[in-house]
Structure formats: C-alpha cells, structure tokens
Structure 1
C-alpha cells in the first residue's frame, strides 16, 4: 500500500497550479463560507435580542440535532446518486430558506419560531449537502494533487470565514437579520450558478448499489469494520477536534480568568491559533512530506504536546502553544483529509465523510462537559494534560502501522 490510483477518468485535469476551474471553485466556496459566518453571527445576535440566553443558546444549537440525525442518510444518498446534483438541490433550498426569512422579518419582527425554523432548516440542508461535498475533491483532481487542493481550499475557507465574521456584526447592526439573510442568499446563489454552469467532474466515482437507506448505513459500518486503514482515518478525522476543541473553547478562557490576563488575552490566543492554522494548511503546498499520512499523524503528536502546554506556564508560552496547535491542526487536517479522499473506496466515500462529521455534532458536547468537570474538580492543568496526553497516545496506533508509514499519494516510480 505504498501508492494509490485514481478512479475512472472522464476528462484529464490540468496540473493543480494551472487548474483555473478548481481555483475558481475554491474561491466561490470561500465566498459561501464568508456568507455562512455572517449568517451565524446574525442568527446569534438576533436570538439574544428576542429571547432569553437559554432560548438563544437553543436556537443557535438547533441545527446540530437534525444534522446529526440525518447525516448518515445524507452519506447514503451521496454514494448512490450524483453528488453534484445533491449539492445543487440543497444549495437552492438554502437560498429559499434565506429568502423566506428575509421576507418574513421585513413584514414582521423576528420571532423565536422563525429563528428556530431557519436554524433547523439549515441543519437539514447541511446533513444532505456535506457528505456530497466531501466527495467533490476526489472528482476534480488527481490523487497526487489532493494535498495541494486541500491546502488551498482550507486556507481560502479560513480566510472567508474570518472575513465573513469580521463584517457580519457590521451588517446585522445596520441591515438587521433581513440584510444578513439577503447577503448570504446572494453568496449561495453564486455557488448554485457555478455548480450548475461550470462545475463538472473529471473522475467517475463508483456508485453504491440501490438498497434501503438503513441497509446502506449498515453496509457502511460493515465496510468500516472490514477496512482497518479506512477505520483509522475515520476515527482520526472524526476525533480531530475532540481534544483541542475543549482546550481552546473552554480552557483558554479558564486560564485567562485564573491568571488575570483578561479577555484580550483570549482574543490574542485565538488569533494566533487561526494564523497558525492558515499557515499550517498553506505550508503543505510548499513543503509536502513524501508520506502524507505519517506526516499528518506526527503533527498531531506535536499538537497533543501543545495542548498540554496550554495548561502551564506564562502568557507568552500559552501564546506559542496556541500558534503551534493551529499550525499542526492546519497541516495535519490537509494531509489526512487528502489521504482519506484518495484511499477510501469511492462507493463508500459519502458515508465515510458523514461519519467523520459526526464527531463534532455528537461527541463534542460530551468532551466540552468532561473538560469543564475536570477543571472544576481538579487543578486547572489536569484536563489540559489528560486531553493532550490522550491525543499523543492515540497517535501511537497509526504511527506503528506499516501501511500508514509507507502510504504515499505521489505516483509510484
């Protein structure tokens, strides 16, 4: 298992550096991510204006429940139908939801029921859209170009999200929820137009056989049990944020509060994390290891050490650790996502993609609660040490696997 092969080629793609279609798709997707970030801020801000903090939290989180429930069904459809058409349909539905919300709040002030409808509808659309979108890279570029694609796409997505968040507050303050929904509807309309007119697959993925959705889900889990390489990648990608998420989401604020550093320190740490992630992702395009999976898992060992370092030391060492965590997260995510897309049986790629997304939806709340409970009942450094140490220990399994050590996405010589 030292190299991988491409699926059936429909149209020969150019080298990634000259692939204008893929470059344009990455840009359009980043614009959509900016719109999503803008919409998230608008939804949260409007929710706290019209409801209590508890209800506002329910509104913001409402989309995750249907997404977690439906995600596996979305994976089955992605493996059976045309992923491009699925992406097109559910982006059109997103535009419809946003236009409906904009028209409603223009006619009457926003209510809890309208906000819940919008959040749940978006969650349902995400559940069907994301597994299909997870297969699109495999249809556009050769396996050898997947790391470069991932580096550019993740960097553009992060920049789009940061840009959308930066202007989101300004737009909702001056144009309200209707203006924010309208802007996001425009970004999704551009995505719909690009998919419909220009986006065409270059590689034909194997399609799953037609069967009931529940049987398709069961077959996906059976495939996971029978393929240790795929299983390791799914576990790694689905759990990628479970150690670092609580350390960043809760831990940094707890440390800043305990040390008296203030909220501005948390903002600085978060900014360094984002900067590191962007640089880590784009660095793959310049300094790509010959064995991508091995490089990605080694980076996660370093990330585990960074998580431990967040819990000890002065502010400057925490800042360095935050940057290292971001850099290793961006670097490992690109390499492991590329390895995942290149090596998973394309008849199961949608279902495996849906499983990787379940970690954040289903397990992250438990990880957050566990981190907080440990911080409350023990010394503050303990949860950082346990979560970081657990990540480092878990990386022993893939790094001791000969298949991962020798796996390369570069063509065999």
Structure 2
C-alpha cells in the first residue's frame, strides 16, 4: 500500500491487507459453491430434480434485477461496509437454513425463500466485492490483485465441490448449509481487518439512489475506453461464469465418458487458472497488457471451439487445463484494466454492469445451453462460446487506447 511519504507500495502478494482480502474472498467464493450445491441437493431430496431449476431461478431473478442498484449502494456507502454487511447477512440466512433443515424438516417453500433472500443479498455483495478489490492498494498493483482474485476463484471451484460432497454424503443438507455458513463467517471475520487504500477515498453522494445510477451510466457512456472495456470483460466472462461448465457435463455425456473424466476436466480447468493467477500475482508489470488481452481472448476462442470437437478423453483434459490457464489470464488482465480505468467513486456502479452481464444473466443461458446441445450437439454450443470470445477479442483489438494499454 502507498505510504504517506510516497514510498513504493508493498507488492500485493506481500501486503497483509491484500492477503487478508484474498483469503476472505477465497472463503466467500468457496461458501458460494458449497451453498448452491447444498441447495440443489436439498431440493432434489425434498421435491425431486425437476424443481432444482425453478429454485435456482428464484434466486437468480432478484440478483439480476437488483444488481445495478447494488453497485449504487457500494459507491454510496463504501464497498468495504457493504461487503461486510452482506457477508454477515449471508451468515444469518445460512444459519437459519441449516437450523430449519436440522430441526424443522424444512420443505420446498423454505428453500424457495432461502434462494430468494440469498439472491437479493448477492445483488449487493457482487458489485461491492468487485469494487473492494480495486480499493485495497496502489493502482500499480491491480494486476497482482486480480491475479490473486483469479487464484481465489479457481481454488474455490476446485475445492468447494469436494468439501460439499464430503459433508453432504456424511451428514446431509443441514451440515452442508452449516459448512457454507462457516466459510462465510471466516470471510466476515477477515474482512473486518481489511482496510481501504487511503489515497482512493470517494466523495459521499448527495443525490438519490436513482440519480446515482443515472450518473454512473452517464459516466460509462462518456468514457469510450471504459465502455469498450465493459463490453470486452462482459463478453469474455459470459460463457465462463457457468455455461462452459454445463457444456462440459453435456459433452462427457454425449461422448459416453465416465464421470471421472468430467471430474478431471473440471479440476484441471481450475488448476490451470490457479497457475495463471499465481504467475500474474508475482509479475511486477504486464507490458502491453491490452495486446496480451487480445491475444488471450483470441486463443481462448480457438480453445473453447476446439474443446467441442475433441474425440478422446485425454484431449479433453489437456484442452481444459490450457483453456483454464488462458481464460484466467484474460479474466485477470481485463478486470485489472477495467479497475485502473475507472474512477474509484464509480467502481461499484461500473462493476455492477459487468457483473450483470456475467453472473447476473448467465443463469438465463443454462436452458439455452441444454437446448442447443440437444438440438445440434455440444460442438455447436462450444462454437457459439468461441464466437462470443472472438467478439470480445475484436472489441479489444479495435480500440487503440485499449490495445496499447499497460499494467
């Protein structure tokens, strides 16, 4: 973090403040994975598999509808305060769910309520946690911070399902919700010790929340490079916020490969991304970061398109590992450039737009994923994802200021 005397900032991977945030983010992301797997498992046991999609949709709709206002709240009250408050609220709702499952034999209506409330809280949490990562240290460390964020996401995606499977098998849904609550509690405790960079404080708004939202959208429209970055990041992460994972499930079923092959493919995808996160965390700078972003997105498009055409399990596993690494690089560089280009007082609102395009709207793509795969095969679905990634690469390549950007 930059000191008042103007000395060089501590490298992000040696900054205790950043490392507390990274650990908290890993715990929170792992809690998310455990929660959604537990919720799906509980719905299946209570009402059958047909109800899982409906329950998840009940949580996804308020998350998408309220996401932009979540960004407004993060900018009005500060991302740290909103993240801590929403993490605490998640602890409470999960503890209630665990208690109801254990002692009251909660049924389907309770699970609908849990999903709905969690979706509302997520609409506050997601923009705030994105804004917080851009307010932890000096702007020159943003590449490293985003490397840590990619590492946290991919570690959570690898470890979360394993933890959930062990607990659900051994003790059931109440224990699964309890584990998710424990992870959120760990995140909450660590976030209490996280501090914002003193040099990136934002002025308190005097406008109404709707006025703040309009101001944020005007700011975004008035900054062409930033608007282009939002498009690039939104497109590049759209397929990787869930649909590609569903596509891998459908692909292994179509090829009649065993569940173990699917497990390996998903695991090495996370491991590849984690390795990239570590690399970007230790790099002092990313020269020609914009050009690297274009290259990573282009290679990602080629890899994700090729993944739908693989004929052997070995090729699927190798391709998933490489895809995880390259897509992780695109994710980290794109988000670092986005946060470096955004004024601190707009980080929540700008982040809410990208979150809406990815985490907010991606659940709507799940039915489309299954329909496309059923009608034309999974190869066509992966080709569609490749086209989306290629559009992101073109959007980045055709903006000179973005193409020539450094980190």
Counterpart residue number, 2:42: 46
Equivalent positions of 1:236-315 (< 5 A) are 236-244=232-240, 248-286=244-282, 289-315=286-312
Hey, what's the Cα distance between the residues in 1 that align with 2:162 and 2:298? Answer: 32
1:65 equivalent among 61, 64, 70: 61
1:393: how far off?
4.1
Q: Provide the secondary structure at the position in 2 that maps to 1:209.
A: coil
Equivalent positions of 1:12-411 (< 5 A) are 13-207=9-203, 209-244=205-240, 248-286=244-282, 289-315=286-312, 316-361=314-359, 363-365=361-363, 367-378=365-376, 381-409=379-407
1:40: how far off?
2.1
Which segments of 5 or more consecutive residues in structure 1 lack a partner in the other structure?
1-5
Over 3 Å counting, the alpha-carbon distance change for 1:187 and 1:322 in structure 2 is closer
Given that residues 235 and 392 in structure 2 are in contact (C-alpha distance below 8 angstroms), is that contact kept between their aligned partners in structure 1?
A: no
Which segments of 5 or more consecutive residues in structure 2 lack a partner in the other structure?
none
1:79: how far off?
1.4
The CA deviation string for residues 76-118 of structure 1, in whole angstroms up to 9 with x for no partner, is 1111222222122222211221222233233311211221121
RMSD, aligned α-carbons? 2.8
The CA deviation string for residues 226-245 of structure 1, in whole angstroms up to 9 with x for no partner, is 11111111112222233456
Q: Provide the secondary structure at the position in 1 that maps to 2:202.
A: coil
1:402: how far off?
1.7
The CA deviation string for residues 240-264 of structure 1, in whole angstroms up to 9 with x for no partner, is 2334567733443444344333433
Tell me whether 44-53 or 161-170 shows the greater mean CA deviation: 161-170
Over 3 Å counting, the alpha-carbon distance change for 1:386 and 1:69 in structure 2 is closer
Hey, what's the Cα distance between the residues in 2 that align with 1:195 and 1:270? Answer: 29
Hey, what's the Cα distance between the residues in 2 that align with 1:90 and 1:62? Answer: 19
1:396: how far off?
2.1
Hey, what's the Cα distance between the residues in 2 that align with 1:371 and 1:399? Answer: 28
Q: Provide the secondary structure at the position in 2 that maps to 1:140.
A: coil
State the TM-score, normalized to the length of structure 2.
Answer: 0.89
Given that residues 74 and 129 in structure 1 are in contact (C-alpha distance below 8 angstroms), is that contact kept between their aligned partners in structure 2?
A: yes
Given that residues 305 and 389 in structure 1 are in contact (C-alpha distance below 8 angstroms), is that contact kept between their aligned partners in structure 2?
A: no
Hey, what's the Cα distance between the residues in 2 that align with 1:263 and 1:186? Answer: 29
State the TM-score, normalized to the length of structure 1.
Answer: 0.88
Q: Provide the secondary structure at the position in 1 that maps to 2:206.
A: coil
Q: Provide the secondary structure at the position in 2 that maps to 1:347.
A: helix
Hey, what's the Cα distance between the residues in 2 that align with 1:105 and 1:372? Answer: 31
Given that residues 309 and 317 in structure 1 are in contact (C-alpha distance below 8 angstroms), is that contact kept between their aligned partners in structure 2?
A: no
1:69: how far off?
1.0
